[in-house]
């Protein structure tokens, strides 16, 4: 289990990018947190957030060969669509 922050960054539409979903915890608690087409879901404690980049969120095209930029990580570096 990670001791780091759950939030990894912020998308251009202000939705939080969280760490990958803790599947073992979800299954162990017999809960289901289905993802939508954007790789996000609602959590009553944390609100709507993403766990994955699926190409649905806002992207800014790059001229340097990167895929589209989708937001910023907490350290200030850009986050890019896979």
The CA distance from 66 to 82, in Å, is 9
- pTM, two decimal places: 0.71
Tens of pLDDT, residue by residue over 58-69, are 889 999 988 899
Domain total in the chain: 1
Q: Residue 7 pairs with which residues in a beta bridge?
A: 18
Give the residue from 38, 39, 78 showing the smallest Cα distance to 62: 78
Q: Per the domain annotation, does 79 fall within a domain?
A: no
Is 18 a domain residue?
A: yes
To the nearest whole percent, how much of the chain has pLDDT over 70?
A: 77
Q: Is residue 16 part of a domain?
A: yes
Across the beta sheet with 47-50, the strand order is 40-43, 47-50, 16-18, 7-11, 69-73, 78-80
pLDDT for res 42: 84
pLDDT tens column, 43-53: 777 789 888 88
pLDDT in tens, 19-36: 876 666 666 666 666 788
Quick check: 50 and 39 in contact, CB under 8 A? yes
């Amino acid at each position: 289990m990670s001791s780091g922050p759950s939030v990894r960054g912020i998308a251009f539409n202000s939705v939080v990018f969280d760490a990958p979903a803790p599947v073992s915890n979800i299954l162990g608690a017999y809960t289901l947190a289905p993802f939508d087409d954007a790789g996000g879901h609602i959590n009553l404690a944390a609100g709507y957030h993403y766990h994955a980049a699926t190409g649905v969120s806002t992207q800014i095209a790059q001229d340097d060969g990167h895929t589209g930029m989708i937001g910023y990580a907490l350290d200030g570096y850009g986050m890019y669509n896979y």
